Chain A
Amino acid sequence: MATGPPRPPGGRAHTDDSRAQTTLDFAIGVSLFLSVMLFVFAFVPGILQPFELSGEQDTVLSERIASDLSQGTLGDPSEPYVLETHCTVAFFDEGSPSPSRCDYEGSTIQERLTVEDHRNVNVSLRGTLSGADADLLCWDATSQRIVERGSGDCNPDAGDDDRLLTGGETPPQSNDATVSSRRVVGIQQTNVTMRVVVW
């Protein structure tokens, strides 16, 4: 009868030896695995956090508004990024009817941009026309020229038709809540930056 190697007495000692694994090994292994699993379960929802932002459509909306305005509505679609002075200045004149020859209609910014009324939009033109810093632009009705707000010729409250080239509501001060798009356009023989803010 073939016999195996001599067995030590006691069944329990036999199983302990042949398992060749101490409780400590197993404890280390399983605890490592459990800790990794806990870490993973805590971490993965954090990956999804950027996608829970509300107002995701604001990016799309501001991009669309900026593209439309710079590439056709305020100028000639076959000459993109070049704006026509009269239609641009009339665009920022909220409350007055739109000129018939311009490509937009309505009297509020939302109507002219064809967005819903409850959307908060602000469109502004900024540039460095004289001096070194970019400033909000203004239409000076006496000389019929676009000037910076800080130059002496801009008096929007004075009763003549001077007008700041900004339209829509005032954006909130905390920038986290807003999405803005910028375009560089040519108007009146120079470049200015158009900024569309949606929140």
Chain B
Amino acid sequence: MADLRPRDERGQILLIAAFTLAVIFVALALVINSAIFTENLASQGEVAGSSEALTYQDQVRQSVAEAMAYANRYDESSLGASVDTIGGQSSSQQARGGRVIDVSLVSTTDGTRIADNASGGSAFRSSGGLSDWNLADGVERTRNVVVTTRHSDLPTSGTPFRLRANETGTPTNVWTMSVWEDSDDVVVRVNTADGDVSECRVAVAGAGTFQIDVTDGVIAGERCHALTRDGTAGTPMWFATGIPSGSTYDIEIANGDAIGGNYSMVVSPRGSWNATTLTTGSATGTPYRTDAIYEATVDYAFRTSQVTYETEIEVTPGEAP
């Protein structure tokens, strides 16, 4: 009898002990899991998707820039419809990821597109045949200045092709870009209105066409320090540097018959083009101007469950900073 009672009181001690330990281990797993989760969150380095808003803003800006390029080339009134489509498709794509995107066009700034699109390239003469001429007078802003040419059409260093931005009324305040070729290199020298000079050489192989993107500072896919920032001090050499903000400038070409190819630029305000040297419409072979959009302001809103971000994006593709 006495033997049985201890067994009665013993109960299922082994099982209870094991159960207690199991509960402790599960609690330990919970604590470790929360430690892992906290560390994972901490290691992600950004707060709740705020950098997503900026990354997506960059993508919207580039999409609207594409729509602007289309509108400027083909149909100026299409920009609003394009932005709406971009916004609609972006939101339906992002909605699958739990984000709400809202893109809408707020306003545009008018400009003029000046271009010479002769197929096969032509000399950069005015519509009247002048080699030194003004493209536009009283320009406030310029963007997307691109010259497409090839080695065989470039001048030698004796008579370089020059593109100038000359402050209206102050002929001594001028930003000049000179282009020539030196064996296989394309040489670009820039004199800013502040007095800085820089020259860059880019080796361009082959006889095909290449682009000199003046406002972006890229020649045949390579950065040119003479068009961007020069030296260890990073002296700005961008297009029209040195012309005080608030003043307007004139865009001039000198030695236009020394070079051959195509060019294009968009200037603002709309009326600044020179009526004597440019034709209207898009007759190829002579430089022409058309109405274009200089800048589009787009309202962009980004919402997730944790972030609300709204801003107005100014889209000016190819404008020098």
Contacts and interface: CB of A to CB of B under 8 A. Distances in A.
Interface of A: 15, 30, 33, 37, 40, 44, 47-48, 51, 56, 59-60, 63-64, 66-67, 71, 77-80, 85-87, 89-90, 93, 99, 101, 141, 143-145, 161, 188-189
Given A78-B61, A99-B233, 18 more contacts: A40-B25, A60-B42, A63-B44, A67-B46, A67-B51, A71-B51, A78-B57, A80-B54, A80-B58, A89-B232, A99-B234, A143-B201, A144-B230, A161-B232, A188-B223, A189-B221, A189-B222, A189-B223
Interface size class of B (residues with CB under 8 A): 20 to 34
A64 B221 contact: no
B228 interface: yes
Contacts of B8: none
A78 B58 contact: yes
B223 A85 contact: yes
Contact of A141 (B35, B200, B232): B232
A101 B238 CA distance: 15
Interface in B3-34: 3, 14, 18, 21, 25, 28, 32
Contacts, number: 72
B55 interface: yes
Contacts of A30: 14
Given A78-B61, A99-B234, A63 B45 contact: yes
Contacts of B55: 80
List of 10 A-B pairs having minimum Cβ-Cβ separation, nearest first: A86-B234, A63-B45, A144-B225, A67-B45, A86-B229, A64-B45, A60-B42, A59-B43, A188-B223, A63-B43
A79 B228 contact: no
A152 B81 CA distance: 53
B51 A79 contact: no
15 contacts: A30-B14, A51-B32, A59-B39, A59-B43, A67-B46, A71-B51, A80-B58, A86-B229, A86-B234, A90-B234, A99-B233, A144-B200, A144-B231, A145-B223, A189-B222
Contacts of A44: 25, 28
Nearest to A34: B14
Nearest to B51: A71
A30 to B, nearest CB: 8
B218 interface: yes
A71 B61 CA distance: 16
Nearest to A179: B43
A23 to B, nearest CB: 14
Interface of B: 3, 14, 18, 21, 25, 28, 32, 35, 39, 42-46, 51, 54-55, 57-58, 61, 200-201, 218, 221-223, 225, 228-234
Contacts of B229: 85-86
Nearest to A187: B223
A164 to B, nearest CB: 15
Contact of A66 (B45, B57, B221): B45
Contacts of A87: 234
Nearest to A29: B14
A14 to B, nearest CB: 11
Contacts of A47: 28, 32
A37 B22 CA distance: 11
A5 to B, nearest CB: 18
A78 B200 CA distance: 29
A99 B43 CA distance: 30
Contacts of B201: 143
Contacts of B46: 67
Contacts of A60: 39, 42-43, 45
Nearest to B223: A188
A87 B232 CA distance: 10
Contacts of B221: 189
A103 to B, nearest CB: 13
A40 B232 contact: no
A63 to B, nearest CB: 4
A43 to B, nearest CB: 10
Contacts of B200: 144
Nearest to B44: A63
A66 B201 CA distance: 33
Contacts of A79: 58
A86 B222 CA distance: 15
Contacts of B21: 37, 40
A170 to B, nearest CB: 24
Contacts of A66: 45
Nearest to A100: B234
